[in-house]
Amino acid sequence: MESMLHGFFVTAGLIIAIGAQNAFVLKQGLLKQHILPVILTCFICDIILISIGVLGLGSLISQSPTATVALAVVGALFLFIYGANAFRSAYQGNSVVQLEQRNAQTQSVLKAIFTTLMITLLNPHVYLDTVVIIGGIAGTLTLEQKGFFLLGALSVSGLWFFSLGYSARLFIPLFQRPVTWRILDIVIGFVMWGIAISLMQYALAML
């Protein structure tokens, strides 16, 4: 139980923060667009990455600086584009209802899953949190303790993404106001660009 709680709180401290992935899940929840597939995609990615870290395979990812730099650059470019789209949406000032109508026509479930994978897997910080940090902490535990640690870590991941995705709809009346949606899009844009800048700085430091 102690190892399980340890994994729960360590993971909670890392994933419950404003980031590209959480911002995207929140937005999908507000739009009520493919929420379950998006949540499951995030959760499955966490299951795979955290399991890799806890089972002691995290060092394999850090052995290729070239691959890490390439991942950081591609991720930064993607987040710059996604952030620009968020700023454009804020400028247009569409309400949630208008955005629901637009997305119902243009966004498929495969597109939503693909975007989720891009935001998740092209961000080196995801690997730093799940594989390196969580894996490093779990490295001090016995095999039996690692099992409970992993269970606690995955429990908080599932609880967080399902809560974030499905509780967002409680705020839909607030986001019917265009100004509120504009504020959210601006915040998302700055978050995406902030992470993109940090990734470029990381890539330059690795060269």
Identify the CA nearest to 46 among candidates 140, 117, 139, 109: 117
Across the 207 residues of the chain, what is the mean pLDDT of every consecutive 10-residue run?
Answer: 83 75 87 91 93 73 68 80 84 58 64 91 80 74 87 93 90 78 84 84 81
Per-residue model confidence (pLDDT) at position 57: 65
Kindly report the backbone phi and psi dihedral angles of residue 19, in degrees, each rounded to the nearest multiple of 5, phi listed first.
-150, 180
DSSP secondary structure letters along 147-167? HHHHHHHHHHHHHHHHHHHHH
Per-residue model confidence (pLDDT) at position 64: 66
Distance of CA 21 to the CA centre of its chain: 2
DSSP 129: I
Q: Give SS3 for 77.
A: helix
Per-residue model confidence (pLDDT) at position 163: 93
130 vs 5: CA distance, rounded Å: 16
Identify the CA nearest to 149 among candidates 164, 136, 160, 162: 136
207 vs 4: CA distance, rounded Å: 39
38 vs 29: CA distance, rounded Å: 9
193 vs 187: CA distance, rounded Å: 10
The model carries a pTM of 0.73
